[in-house]
Structure 1
Amino acid sequence: MQINLFECIKIFIEIIESGSFTKAAENLQIHRPAVTKALQQLEQHSGIRLMQRTTRRINLTPEGEEFYHRSKSLLAQADDLLDLFSPTHALHGQLRVDMPIAFAALLVVPNLSDFYHEHPSIEIILSSSDLRRDMLRDGLDCVLRMGELEDGEYIARKIGDIHMTTCASPGYLSVHGTPENLEQLQQHQAVNWINNSSRQIVSWTFETTSGTAELNLPGKLVLDNSEAYVAAGLAGLGLLQGMSFLLKPYLDSGLLVEVLPDYPPQPRKLSLIYPHRHLSRKVRVFAEWLEGLL
């Protein structure tokens, strides 16, 4: 029996990512029985059981889990191959992206209409989290991340540099005083940030006349969420060192005050990470748009 293997794989992926046969049929605009038949044909053709079905949920078998990851990569490479030989063809389809909350809320989403103007047929599925995501497991095409990256099975493209600012609330400074040099920082409280992948507290950096100084500051609060981080600073719980674009509204309004302006923090690298050595056209145009945005 001949089957359209790529079509069956596409339907299988949609079942997993949508969470149900019915939703997969709606998303692909096909009849529900066609979804069931495609999965049955794929299992018969491959000779393996891909998932366990119950009335309430879908569970991948161990073989189905591996098949999903490999088939997701296979279809992405097939799309890239077609794009490579038809560069004038309008880009279409889904682009699954994950990025930190602050970037999504303050930079990307407010400007997405410009991207859609250039690429109206691309559908972006954007998840925002300050936690590390597994690209293959979560079916992501690319991930936006800040800072130095750990070794891994991915490719990273530098998008730009993010400027940082050291600041505190007026209430905190009125009680604890304003530090005038780096030595005085040890008498202050810091709101620290933890790297979710390494589980290490991120060091504070400062540019000095003799080079970059990297310090670990005392503090009673460690956070991994940008919204909570700003809230802690506004509450007077300590000094902050965060992304300038995130802190700017509070600095402009006087709710936060910059400190140590003569010792600016070292900018942090922003990278777009993707799982394949060949950069797909969809990821490439999104990366170029982000570069222009920054």
Structure 2
Amino acid sequence: MDKLTAAKVLLDVAQTESFTATADRLDISRPMVTRHVEAVENWLGARLLQRTTRKVSLTNTGEQMLPDLQRWVEQAQQIEESLMPTQAIQGFVRVSVSMSFGFSELMPALTIFRQQYPGIRLDIDAQDRAVDMVSERIDLAIRTTNDPNPALIGRPFAVCHSKLVASKAYLDARSAITHPTDLEQHACLGYKNFGRHIWQLTKGEQKHQVEVNCDITANEATVLLHGSISGLGISMQPTYLADSKIASGELEWILPDWQLNTLQMYLLYPSRKHLSHPVRALIDFLVNHFEQQQSLR
């Protein structure tokens, strides 16, 4: 039996405190989980897990040996990955991403990724909602937030800049916007996740917080984008969506001398201890890829 695989299984059981949960997460049978755990205990000559009818927990010896076992697994994985050609990595990765970033940025990036890693299969869950990564078997979540879930490992990979935009037809029919406070008199389109729609703008030492009127809200950026294109009002859009529409003339950039707050973009995953080769490959690829995208730095 492969020692590295067996050690990964035991570490997962230590995290889930359940043979059944580990079997479900790793998509193997419960008896196979038991065999892996017993193999590690036999190799080390010590009982590492205490099994009861209700719970699985680490023995005192297990608690002492777990950090060393984790380090060994991480080092072994790094060595394997450094020696493994990208074409040889095979497996499956399930990714959760917002629809707007998924359509605009992720799918073009994955075209390059698939050329480098043809053996990695991908399942993209494109929804604008919070997910339970463990129960929904999400390997990697891409999120735009300055407050990532502290229960997850977060690797920053890009910065989201935003612009205020509206159609020429909308702006021609309304009063001019020359200062952030003018926004209070305009129809705005907002994100439904926010209780109050407060836009913060900065110009040098000047800072303004404006509470805008949003009679139309949505949970997804491209819906608001097309609302602005249709003349429904002003929306705050990530530059990766707005810039092409501004360049084409479909939208105009409002208050270009003022900057909106930026948001950090994260790659989130449950644990760095049990990253599979495919997940680690995708994370490293996305970090390197988006480092080269100037609009997201």
Shared fold (TM-score, shorter chain, > 0.5) = yes
Partner-residue secondary structure (3-state), 1:176: coil
Counterpart position of 2:182: 184
Write the mapping of 1:225-236 to structure 2, written as runs, cut at 5 A: 225-236=220-231
How far 1:154 moved relative to its partner? 0.6
2-structure distance, mates of 1:44, 1:98: 31
Q: Which amino acid aligns with 1:172?
A: Y
Residue 238 of structure 1 is aligned with which of 192, 208, 233?
233
How far 1:170 moved relative to its partner? 1.6
Write the mapping of 1:35-74 to structure 2, written as runs, cut at 5 A: 38=29, 41=31
1-structure distance, mates of 2:290, 2:244: 22
Q: Which amino acid aligns with 2:285?
A: F
Counterpart position of 1:253: 248
2-structure distance, mates of 1:108, 1:224: 19
Q: CA, structure 1 residues 105+79, in 2 after alignment: closer, same or farther (shift >3 Å)? A: farther
How far 1:42 moved relative to its partner? 6.5
Partner-residue secondary structure (3-state), 1:173: helix
- Structure 2: segments with no counterpart, 5+ residues: 10-18, 36-52, 57-69
Residue 274 of structure 1 is aligned with which of 269, 275, 278?
269
2-structure distance, mates of 1:113, 1:285: 15
Counterpart position of 2:49: none
- State whether residues 251 and 257 of structure 1, in contact with CA within 8 Å, keep that contact through their aligned partners in structure 2: yes
Counterpart position of 1:84: 78
- State whether residues 141 and 283 of structure 1, in contact with CA within 8 Å, keep that contact through their aligned partners in structure 2: no
Detail structure 1 runs of 4+ shifted over 4 Å in the superposition. Answer: 8-15, 41-45, 77-82
How far 1:213 moved relative to its partner? 3.2
Counterpart position of 2:257: 262
Q: Which amino acid aligns with 1:220?
A: D
Counterpart position of 2:172: 174
CA displacement 1:159-201 (0-9 Å, x = unmatched): 1212211111122112222311012111112101133xxx534
Coordinate RMSD, CA, aligned: 3.3
Partner-residue secondary structure (3-state), 1:148: coil
- State whether residues 96 and 138 of structure 2, in contact with CA within 8 Å, keep that contact through their aligned partners in structure 1: yes
Q: CA, structure 1 residues 262+43, in 2 after alignment: closer, same or farther (shift >3 Å)? A: closer
2-structure distance, mates of 1:187, 1:80: 57
Judge which range, 115-124 or 239-248, deviates more: 115-124
TM-score, with structure 1 as normaliser:
0.69
- State whether residues 178 and 259 of structure 1, in contact with CA within 8 Å, keep that contact through their aligned partners in structure 2: no
Identity of aligned residues (%): 18
2-structure distance, mates of 1:135, 1:104: 18
2-structure distance, mates of 1:290, 1:205: 30
Counterpart position of 1:291: 290
CA displacement 1:19-72 (0-9 Å, x = unmatched): xxxxxxxxxxxxxxxx9xx56x56999xxxxxxxxxxxxxxxxx9xx99xxxxx
2-structure distance, mates of 1:214, 1:157: 30
